[in-house]
A and B are shown apart, each in its own frame.
Chain A
Amino acid sequence: MLIFILRRLLSAIPTLILVSLFVFTLQKLLPGDPVQAMAGEERDPAVMEYLREKYRLNDPVPLQYVHWVGNVLQGDFGTSLRTEQPVTTLLASKLPVTIELAVLALVIALLIGIPTGVISAVRKGTAVDYGANVFALSGISIPHFWLGILLIMIFAVKLQWLPASGFVPLGENLGQNLKTLILPAFVLGAGLSGVLMRHTRSAMLEVLRADYVRTARAKGLFPRTVILKHALRNALMPIVTLTTLLFGELLGGAVLTEQVFSIPGFGKMIVDAVFNRDYAVVQGVVLCVAIGFLLLNLLADVLYRLINPRLRTA
């Protein structure tokens, strides 16, 4: 197991290098000069030249890349061109927000998805099954930003139950914090619940067909016991790995939801950074998300092996 983990970690390194190289090149190719955007309305050429020197934007691109890698290995992700804050500070302040949003979204998705999937599998072929399937697909099909805007209209403006946007940190006030995150978490979670529901359903169906379930039924155990004790537990294996993978995707994927609800997480930060040509921030965030994604993939594989003893090799 340990060797497996180590091997995967090692093979992740060239991938990370490729990711950073790709994003770096892409950014440099973007039209528009960040220094011009920074120099603002006044546009003093001397100032712009100074800024270019300061951020080494006059160096040849490969050299800039090498510099960046060197700094990253020392823990320095550079500074935001826009506000001069270190990127590491930015990452540290936004990461908990994105993680909290991802966790809440997953909780909602699990709470909706798993029971619906189970019921759907047990009542396969009935109207309940079809209905649940359409509901699940709806979650995947609705544009997040549209759902978000609609929810704001209803819950924040008309009913005034929840704040329209913004974010209150966890440490400051738990109640407010949850209130600000509930709508965006629901938007994200509704989409994911569809995916989870369908996977739960197919996993349950596989398991329900299996021999040992029929044995349990033959033994005379009540259907519900059969379902909950045996089938569900075995069906949960792939769900665990799926959840881990979904978490990885959520790290960078909540872009539009964060935009609509003004949640200061990774998604919003990266969109703003791309539009402001804030190179260091884009690099830092993408690298962070890629690392997170790769680590979570690894975790999913490890969990899968742990839960499924048949797959253990080492």
Chain B
Amino acid sequence: MKFAPLMTTALLLLAANAAVAETTLRIGIQDDPDVLDPHRSRTYSGRLVYTALCDKLVDISPDLTYVPQLATAWNWSEDGKTLTMTLREGVTFHDGEAFDAAAVKFNLDRARTLPDSLRKSELSSVESVDVIDAKTVAIKVKQPDATLISQLSDRAGMMLAPKASATDVGSKPVCSGPYKFVQRVQQDRIVLERFDHYWNKQAYHFDKVIFLPIPDTSVRLANLRSGDLDIIERVAPTDVKTAKADSHVQVFSTPGLGYMQLMYNTNNGDKANNPLGKDKRVRKAFELAIDRDAINQVVFEGLYAPSAQPFPKSSPYYDKDLPIPARDVEASKKLLAEAGVKTPVSVELKVANNPIAQQVGQIIQAMAEEAGFKVNLVATEYATLLSEQQAGNFQIGMSAWSGRPDPDGDIHQFVTCKGGQNDGRFCDPKLDELLNKARTVNDQAQRQALYFEALRLLADDVPTSYLYFDPRIIAMRSNLTGFVPNPDGLIRLNDVAFK
């Protein structure tokens, strides 16, 4: 009986298999990303995938400072019109192409000129991109732009391989991140595998990373608890207690960059011609009826951050001397009397068609009623909501903004006269002046002064009421170590590994 050799072979095979056993990390995300092309992509879920797939020039650290990724150093010229960046050496793209200044130029030009590029407004200040040498690139801007670095820390600064990206990128993106693209099945999964020539490959410990879109938050959590997923993002605040109680799960929560606001239609079409749209006292009265803390407790288990400013508390541009208006029904009624409107004032509040938005809407409705407002709550399906708001077919619209590291991104397009997201069409030339100037000023103290003044104007005119900032809650299996949460909520996998 040739038992011994048989056993040995069997054991060897087992050992070999064990050595070759692939580690896979399964990440559950809220929705399916749209097209996987950083220059044309718009979804937050897309950014989650890019974190593993595409490196960018600059990254953000948890305390919101800019750190090197593909660019190792950068500085502005004296006149603030040229940004010179030194690039990392020894970097290759997933298909072997070398990363150099020419590649940077290719990408920035593509982001600026591709007809359906969604990065154009982010790079609107860029005049030209010049290759100085293989590892140095100079970006010239039309006027000083304090926001440029922050733009380069997101999709506008992501680098695609020039040759492979000459044509269709969406179906097979070729970048230079720690993982490379393998496969995508729409609404099912996105599969990435380890890139062996990554410049920092020793920090990354998985052979395969799979992103699985699962829209239902409780189902996502159930999958994590049963072990079918290893990491999930955007955990619902009402699930946090359950998650923490589970010994197989650990929860990370960081104050985030994104917020929720109630935008008032002050100047966009017929629906602005009413007391709420025309008289800031009525808007102020409405805002004074809202108890942000109660909303936080009832809907978000106290985990969210009530706010009345567009910048997160951690931002240097958050004005600590400007308090969050507390609920004051009496003051509300007084303002309405002053404005001479007949109560109850009829207003229409449009919210998105999801349970959380509806809950918040219903609470606001109940609170405003006591102050003399009759709120008609209209839950609208997402696609319709967008077009309704832009067309001015709303009185109050509750909308979410995912947030940007640079303050300009959180405020400019919402309240400047020609702002792309200014659905209420609020227009105050003084405010425009302040915000336009703040974009061009690099000195923090100077910028702060400008934004503080802008915030006071906003608090006085109330074109929009900021409600709260949502935290970024990420949960993962307890046997994963090394994760460092970041306010942008993205999942960076460097040094993350199974115990």
- Residues of A bordering B, CB below 8 Å: 31-34, 36-44, 46-47, 50-51, 54, 80, 82-85, 90, 93, 152, 156-157, 160, 163-167, 260-262, 264, 268-269, 272, 275-277
Contacts and interface: CB of A to CB of B under 8 A. Distances in A.
Contacts of A37: 382-383, 386
Interface of B: 32-36, 42-43, 115-122, 168, 170-171, 185-188, 212-216, 219-220, 222-223, 225-226, 228, 381-388, 390, 401-402, 420-421
B381 A165 contact: no
Contact of A50 (B33, B42, B116, B186): B116
A22 B36 CA distance: 32
Contacts of A152: 219, 222
B188 A264 contact: yes
Contacts of B228: 163-164, 166
B420 A43 contact: yes
A93 B120 contact: no
A159 to B, nearest CB: 10
B186 A41 contact: no
Contacts of A85: 170-171, 186
Contacts of A269: 186-187
Contact of B222 (A83, A90, A156, A272): A156
B226 A83 contact: no
Q: Which of B117, B118, B171, B188 has the most CB of A within 10 A?
A: B188
Contacts of B225: 157, 160
B214 A90 contact: no
Contacts of A39: 42, 118
Nearest to B188: A264
A46 B225 CA distance: 45
Given A83-B35, A157-B226, 18 more contacts: A31-B387, A33-B383, A39-B42, A40-B34, A42-B121, A43-B421, A47-B117, A47-B118, A51-B116, A83-B34, A85-B171, A152-B219, A165-B216, A165-B220, A260-B216, A261-B219, A272-B32, A277-B383
Residue among B32, B34, B122 with max Cβ neighbours from chain A (10 Å): B34
A167 to B, nearest CB: 7
Contacts of B386: 32-33, 36-37
Contact of A80 (B116, B186, B222, B421): B186
A289 to B, nearest CB: 17
Contacts of A32: 381, 383-387
A268 B420 contact: no
21 contacts: A34-B383, A36-B390, A39-B118, A41-B401, A44-B121, A46-B120, A47-B116, A50-B116, A54-B116, A82-B35, A83-B33, A84-B35, A85-B170, A93-B188, A152-B219, A157-B222, A164-B226, A165-B220, A166-B228, A262-B219, A272-B187
Contacts of A264: 185-188
A56 B363 CA distance: 43
Contacts of B216: 165, 260, 262
Contact of B42 (A38, A90, A156): A38
A243 to B, nearest CB: 28
A90 B383 contact: no
A275 B31 CA distance: 13
Contacts of A260: 216, 219
B188 to A, nearest CB: 4
Nearest to B219: A165
Nearest to A89: B186
A37 to B, nearest CB: 5
Nearest to B34: A82
Contacts of A165: 214, 216, 219-220, 222-223
A261 B42 CA distance: 26
A42 B412 CA distance: 12
B420 A31 contact: no
A164 B232 CA distance: 14
A44 B42 CA distance: 12
A211 B120 CA distance: 82
Which of A36, A90, A160 lies at the interface centre, i.e. has the most chain B CB atoms within 10 A of its CB? A36
Contacts of B383: 32-34, 36-37, 275-277
A90 B187 CA distance: 10
B381 A275 contact: yes
B259 to A, nearest CB: 13
B223 A166 contact: yes
A233 B12 CA distance: 56
A275 B215 CA distance: 14
Given A167-B188, A264-B188, A44 B118 contact: yes
A262 B214 contact: yes
A309 B269 CA distance: 71
Nearest to B401: A41
Nearest to B222: A164
A224 to B, nearest CB: 44
Nearest to B404: A41
Contacts of B168: 84
A38 B116 CA distance: 10
Contacts of A80: 186
Contacts of A268: 187
B271 to A, nearest CB: 16
Contacts of A44: 118, 120-121, 420
B118 A42 contact: yes
B421 A41 contact: yes
A42 B42 contact: yes
B186 A160 contact: no
A93 B33 CA distance: 18
